[in-house]
Chain A
Amino acid sequence: MNTLLEVCNLTKSFTLHLIDGRTITPVRDVSFSVSAGEHLLIHGRSGMGKTSILKCIYRTYLPTSGSIWFVSRQFGRIDLNQADENVILQLREREIGFCSQFLRVLPRVSALDVLCEPLYRQQMDRATAQAIGKEWLERLGIAPELWQASPITFSGGEQQRINIARAFIARPRLLLLDEPTASLDEATKQVVIAMIRAAQAEGTAIISVSHDLSGLGPCADRQWTFQPAR
């Protein structure tokens, strides 16, 4: 198997300067790897640090220690913990996608533009990007009359669909999904699972974090119950 990501002895501590400088360590000495085309599901109770692992990989969190080796098409095998900010930004644009639990957008920006933003960033021309975007919106069952509206006006489930599509649209090699099915009804959940399977078939490695075993469990190659470090 082609290892795409190798997390070695990852530890993440937070120093809370506002609360007498105390330190909490939700992630301690974690190691695992994921191969191209593989789907790893990390599950466990809320507040255990599952999301922290994803955020360390995406570098939204600065890891305290350990290495995160990623095999990049642009840069070769690099440690995401040590990589330059500009390298991380390039990887986020082209190779690593992250789907958070919440969609944050600028007001007045249409759902179509929100969705196509990752493609605009890659300097794809607007017409091509929007054609791809419309395909995704259709597949996710977002009604065409909503495409020009701001996602702020959408329901929770519709927002989450836009959020997921945004992570998939740039076809990253590694997808990090934080509770992707949390606010979805059964039918949409199945659409998202089909999207995950299709991405996997194209060789995308997926790490998802969820407490919803029944939803994502069947499409994961491996499941890992995350235990608290304390």
Chain B
Amino acid sequence: MTLENWLLRVERLHKHFGPTCPDCHRLTGPDNGRSRCPRCGTVWACVDVNIQLEAGEVLGIVGESGSGKSTLLQMIYLALRPDSGHIWYRDEGEPARDLVSLNRYEARVFRNSRIGIVYQRPELGLNMRFSIGGNVAEKLLLAEWRHFGRIRARTTELMVKTELPPERIDDEPATFSGGMLQRVQIAKALASRPGLLLLDEITSGLDVSVQARVLDLLRRIQWEDRITMLLVSHDLGVVRQLARRTIVMKNGHIVEAGLTDQILEDPQHPYTQLLVSSAL
């Protein structure tokens, strides 16, 4: 049994927005309780972020709004270029690749074939003017699938998997409910059989019965497809149920990382203690 079985390794990732000044580092970060430098206005979204995901693992990311969670996800999705650092990706039996070094075309093909993303707001993940079939086809075409019949068959298969009525393949997203749209997003994200699924607050704003259904789907994907997932959520209950390891972010920094039950029951950092004690 090998323990060296990682799929994604993020090393020393940095991202800031703004001009920067010599005082930035002294004035920002979790100890100062802010990400934005009061002198020059630079926002430090991710500072020296290191994470490793084992193949098949679900890693939770928790933290308040503005802690840098979504920026991190966008960089891993290759939609945002980091200032520095590496994002190593390794499919089983293949050499590791640094995704930061891919050019625009390579990045687009890679993203569409190897990574899926699901957002809190469906309109970010879906093209609202395309039908459901069109949305899934878009992802597959960008992943360089070419055969129309196969694309159509794959879409139907995904709709069944995500408990969507396949006869609605040609309907537009606007005619679906919120919970259904999350499942359409999941279907689209899974279309090209990605190695990595990025989930950005996907159950926030859903009513509880719909939320339970989406979580149940994720759990099935976790068991049946063994897809590696990065789960951003501010709902600690969701993280407890799905992620075995969790990192805690605050003001662009990882302040604590560990086994999920340890983070929730024996949090070490003052911020994590506050977060856990504030949960219902």
Contacts and interface: CB of A to CB of B under 8 A. Distances in A.
Interface string A94-108: 000000000011111
Interface in B201-256: 208, 212-213, 215-216, 219, 223, 240-241, 244-245
Contact of A62 (B212, B219, B241, B262): B262
B277 interface: yes
Could you say which interface size class chain A belongs to? Answer: 20 to 34
B48 interface: no
B259 interface: yes
Given A87-B3, A90-B1, A120 B259 contact: no
A84 B216 contact: no
A194 interface: no
B66 interface: no
Nearest to A21: B270
B215 A14 contact: no
A74 interface: yes
Given A16-B273, A90-B3, A106 B215 contact: yes
A106 B237 CA distance: 9
A194 B272 CA distance: 41
Contacts of B280: none
Contacts of B266: 14, 55, 60-62
B265 interface: yes
| Chain A CB within 10 Å, residue with most, of B244, B245, B274 | B244
14 contacts: A14-B266, A15-B268, A17-B269, A18-B273, A18-B274, A55-B266, A59-B259, A60-B265, A61-B262, A84-B3, A85-B258, A89-B259, A108-B213, A120-B223
Given A18-B277, A86-B3, A107-B216, 10 more contacts: A14-B266, A55-B265, A61-B265, A61-B266, A62-B258, A85-B258, A87-B3, A106-B219, A108-B213, A108-B216
